[in-house]
């Protein structure tokens, strides 16, 4: 690639140029990816942080992923919405316990600075996954809790920075609306790339585990993937557009060859139907024609 080519494509990554363009991948790797840290981890030793860093759906997701990948070493993950790389991380244990490598994507400037300091053994990127099949600039709305007098544990537990989102994304749910209303907001421009661009930049052909928690952009990101070119084995996505089970989303994933194996709250766990790890699944989540009644834990045992 000549210097003129570089300058031209760098100007065009603001959109639109196809994410599968090899020149986009080269710009992404050179300007927007930071390699794994060679230094020891710098994880928090804060007592309160240690007590609350795993809450909500973290335990549920970890248990399902552990069933699928327990003992599987050397895999590759992508976690979009990585926060600080430790709190609520769906991938840190894969890195530490099973020696996996991967990519952590975090668009929030504050969270990304914290992520850098954790010294994860994965690639990191202060960008976002594009909801379209081309790279583009977006505005990220970074949320922080409005000042109020409260105990430290309450402040840490209710930190809203994890709810930062792309401008224009609407969740329409009681789960997050109060958070948005009770947050201070800061705005910044972030460069976004399609998922396939990251894979080309890292020369990765298979993603063993994809974790998507990007506050309302999950469906659009998945629908923009060129599935014929991308091999993703297991996907965990938080979908909060709906107050109940999103049957339409599950049916779309089924057309792409993915089987829903677990559902809880807003979290959906999919496995590629042709992947051998699906044989490790002992409980298959099912749904009826209408909202899933979680109180009855609608599921069946497989033989």
Q: Which CATH number is 47's domain given?
A: 3.40.50.150
pLDDT digits (tens, 9 = 90+) for 172-227: 566 666 666 677 778 889 899 999 999 999 999 999 999 998 877 888 999 999 99
Residues, the chain, total? Answer: 303
Q: What is the rounded CA–CA span in Å between residue 192 and residue 229? A: 20
Asked if residue 136 lies in contact with residue 14, where contact means CB atoms within 8 angstroms, the answer is yes
Confidence (pTM): 0.82
Residue 289 confidence (pLDDT): 42
How sure is the predictor about 20, in pLDDT bands with cuts at 50, 70 and 90? confident
Range of the domain at 53: 3-301
Q: How far is CA 140 from the centre of its chain?
A: 15
Lowest model confidence (mean pLDDT) among 13-27, 76-90, 104-118: 13-27
Task: Give me the mean pLDDT over the 49-69 stretch.
Answer: 80
Burial of 246 (0-12, 13-18, 19+ CB in 10 A): buried
Whether the predicted pLDDT of 291 surpasses 50: no
The single-letter DSSP state of residue 212 is E
pLDDT digits (tens, 9 = 90+) for 145-178: 665 555 555 555 555 555 676 666 665 566 666 6
Q: What percent of the chain has pLDDT over 70?
A: 72
In this structure, what token pair is assigned to residue 96?
């530490």
Considering only residues 2 and 41, tell me which one the structure prediction assigns the higher pLDDT.
41
Q: What is the rounded CA–CA span in Å between residue 234 and residue 164? A: 25
In this structure, what token pair is assigned to residue 128?
């976002």
Map residue 238 onto helix, strand or coil. strand
Question: Where would I find the beta strands (DSSP E) of 247-287?
Answer: 258-264, 267-272, 283-285
Query: Nearest Cα to 220, choosing from 131, 114, 88, 90?
Result: 131
Number of domains in the chain: 1
DSSP3 helix / strand / coil % (the chain, rounded to 5): 35, 25, 45
Map tokens 């497989």 to a residue: 302
Residue 8 confidence (pLDDT): 55
């Amino acid at each position: 690639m000549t210097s003129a080519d570089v300058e031209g494509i760098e100007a065009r990554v603001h959109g639109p140029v196809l994410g599968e363009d090899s020149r986009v991948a080269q710009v992404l790797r050179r300007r927007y990816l930071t390699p794994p840290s060679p230094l020891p981890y710098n994880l928090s030793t804060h007592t309160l942080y240690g007590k609350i860093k795993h809450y909500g759906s973290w335990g549920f997701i970890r248990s399902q992923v552990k069933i699928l990948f327990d003992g599987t070493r050397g895999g590759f993950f992508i976690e979009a919405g990585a926060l600080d790389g430790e709190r609520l991380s769906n991938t840190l244990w894969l890195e530490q316990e099973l020696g996996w490598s991967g990519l952590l994507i975090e668009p929030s400037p504050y969270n990304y600075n914290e992520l850098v300091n954790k010294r994860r053994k994965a690639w990191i990127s202060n960008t976002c996954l594009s909801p379209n099949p081309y790279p583009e600039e977006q505005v990220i709305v970074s949320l922080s809790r409005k000042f109020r007098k409260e105990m430290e544990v309450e402040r840490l537990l209710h930190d809203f920075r994890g709810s930062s989102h792309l401008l224009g994304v609407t969740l329409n749910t009681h789960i997050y609306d109060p958070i948005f209303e009770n947050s201070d907001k800061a705005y910044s421009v972030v460069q976004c790339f399609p998922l396939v661009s990251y894979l080309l930049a890292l020369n990765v052909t298979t993603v063993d585990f994809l974790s998507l928690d990007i506050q309302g952009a999950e469906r659009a990101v998945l629908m923009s993937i060129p599935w014929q070119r991308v091999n993703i084995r297991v996907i965990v996505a938080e979908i909060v557009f709906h107050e109940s089970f999103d049957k339409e989303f599950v049916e779309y994933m089924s057309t792409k060859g993915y089987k829903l194996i677990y559902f809880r709250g807003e979290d959906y766990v999919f496995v590629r139907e042709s992947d051998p790890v699906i044989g490790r699944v002992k409980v298959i989540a099912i749904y009826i024609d209408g909202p899933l009644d979680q109180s009855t834990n609608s599921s069946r045992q497989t033989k």
